[in-house]
C-alpha cells in the first residue's frame, strides 16, 4: 500500500505523510473560536422548540440522507438562510442529511460556491 511522503510544515516541523501539523490544528481551532464568537446563539437564529418539533416531523417523512441514503439525523437548509426567517421555515429549502454528509459533502459544496 503506497504511503504519502513526509513533509515540512512552514513552522519547520517534519510531519508524517497524511498527518496535519500541530500548528495547523491550533490555527484551525482558533479560527473556529473566532467565528463562533461572531455567531448568534442557536436559539436566536431560530433553532428553538418549534424548530425541534418541525425537524422531527420532517425526519419522520424523510428518513434517508439525500446524498448517501444512510439514516438522516439533520435537517439542512439547502440555501443558507442567513437570518431570513421566510427561507428558514420554507420546507422546500430543507433536505435530510446524515452527520457525515452534512459535515463534509455539504460544507465542501458551500465552500466551492456550488450553493
Residues 27 and 82 in one domain: no
Round to whole Å and give the CA distance between 6 and 50: 50
Residue 1 counted as domain residue: no
**Is the domain of 53 the same as that of 107?**
yes
* Same structural domain, 33 and 11: yes
Give the integer Cα–Cα distance in Å for 98 and 104: 10
Give the model's pLDDT for residue 78: 94
Residue-number span of the structural domain to which 34 is assigned: 7-38
pLDDT tens, residue by residue, 4-21 = 888 888 888 898 888 889
Phi, psi of 48 (to 5 degrees): -115, -165
pLDDT (tens digit per residue) in 27-79: 989 998 998 898 888 888 889 999 999 999 999 999 999 999 999 999 999 99
- Are residue 56 and residue 104 in the same domain, yes or no? yes
pLDDT score at 7:
86
**86 to each of 46, 57, 58, 66, how far by Cα in Å?**
11, 19, 17, 23
Residues 33 and 55 in one domain: no
CA–CA distance, 35 with 39 (Å, rounded to integer): 6
Instruction: Average the pLDDT over 83-90 and give the result.
Output: 95
Q: Are residues 55 and 85 in the same domain?
A: yes
For residue 1, the model assigns a pLDDT of: 59
Amino acid at each position: 500500500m503506497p504511503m504519502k511522503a513526509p513533509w515540512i510544515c512552514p513552522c519547520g516541523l517534519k510531519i508524517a505523510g497524511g498527518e496535519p501539523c500541530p500548528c495547523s490544528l491550533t490555527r484551525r481551532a482558533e479560527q473556529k473560536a473566532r467565528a463562533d464568537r461572531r455567531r448568534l446563539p442557536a436559539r436566536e437564529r431560530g433553532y428553538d422548540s418549534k424548530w425541534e418539533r418541525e425537524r422531527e416531523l420532517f425526519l419522520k417523512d424523510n428518513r434517508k440522507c439525500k446524498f448517501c441514503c444512510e439514516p438522516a439525523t439533520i435537517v439542512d437548509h439547502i440555501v443558507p438562510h442567513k437570518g431570513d426567517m421566510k427561507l428558514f421555515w420554507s420546507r422546500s429549502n430543507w433536505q435530510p442529511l446524515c452527520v457525515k454528509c452534512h459535515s463534509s459533502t455539504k460544507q465542501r459544496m458551500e465552500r466551492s460556491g456550488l450553493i
